[in-house]
Amino acid sequence: MKKLLYKALFGYLYLLSLLPFWLHRGFANCLYYLVYYPFKYRKEVILGNIKLAFPEKTLKERQRIAKDFYLHLCDLMTESIKGVSMNQKDFEKHYKVLNWEILFDEQKKGNSVILISPHTGNWEWVFSLVDKLMPPVFDSVFAIYQPLQNPYFNDYVLETRQRYGAKLIPMRETYKYVLEAHNTKKQIVSWFAADQSPSPENAYWTEFLHQDTAFHAGYARIATQTNQTVMFLDIKKVKRSFFELTLIPIDYKNIGNPETEGNTQKQQDFIVENFARLTEKRINENPAYWLWSHKRWKHKRNN
């Protein structure tokens, strides 16, 4: 019975996705007033995060960022629904990579690529890019994700995100899949949303938005072990439901002296530090479009 109810819900979401963009924006506007005013969704967390990140800003400026974030969050919800029925041409109008050529150049060189991006702009629509990368361009495209506890929603996420050909890999199995592709000489693209909060013991620590912050470093270890190219995927929101994406290489391979002990660690640190700095730059340029609703600084460094 529960499975049938979920199927009915997902069918209803598909029907909603068929509505035009202007109606989805109207829904987002209405949703914004509900979550910001009467429900005050995670308001203390959001305003607290913004205050920590921008201590130099006035209360009024921080509240403006929070309000803009709430509207952006509601846009994301409705864009996720709209995306269910969007075709490739629809996505290309709203979601543009400005420099595809550098990714294709790496493919021509025989390199695999790790893409890392933060939760800025609309990261859900990244899956629409996979169509351009599938065979015969790259052999596989992996997207690393954290499985959901609800099996029906997890299946729904898998179905909607994999429809363009990406293979979703549970985070705990990332190393196995990427290493297998490397050992069998397959060219792959692996995408990581790399700003999720890691366990502090295995994290890379740096100052980020004025805070001592832990970052995942697993993708950096995989990159150096398999000699993959690393690129930062910069997602810029131009206006509501329109995004421009830029690929920024993180050239770690010339860092340090290969004959020096600890060189690999220097390369890994270089990758993660550059991810932190590029993420910080994107947030400073468009503060409202990062995911402020999570507890960003819940961990403390172990001294």
For residue 166, pLDDT over 90 is answered with yes
Of 95-99, 261-265, 294-298, the range with the lowest mean pLDDT is: 261-265
Sign of CA dihedral 183, 184, 187, 191: negative
Give, as one character, the DSSP assignment of residue 141.
E
From the centroid of its chain, how far is CA 287? 16
What average pLDDT does this structure show over 279-287? Answer: 98
What average pLDDT does this structure show over 151-167? Answer: 86
Rg of the chain's alpha carbons, rounded to an integer?
A: 20
Report the predicted TM-score, pTM, of the whole model to 2 decimal places: 0.94
Backbone φ and ψ of 61, nearest 5°: -65, -40
* pLDDT tens by residue, 219-237: 999 999 999 999 999 999 9
Structural domain boundaries in the chain: 2-289
* pLDDT tens by residue, 33-86: 999 999 999 999 999 999 999 999 999 999 999 999 999 999 999 999 999 999
Sign of CA dihedral 57, 60, 64, 67: positive
Residues 62 and 288: their CA atoms lie apart, in Å, by 10
pLDDT of 170 reads: 93
- Name the H helices within 43-197: 43-53, 59-83, 88-94, 100-108, 151-161, 174-183
What average pLDDT does this structure show over 129-150? Answer: 91
Mean pLDDT of the chain: 93
Reported as a pLDDT band with limits 50, 70 and 90, residue 161 is confident
For residue 302, pLDDT over 80 is answered with no
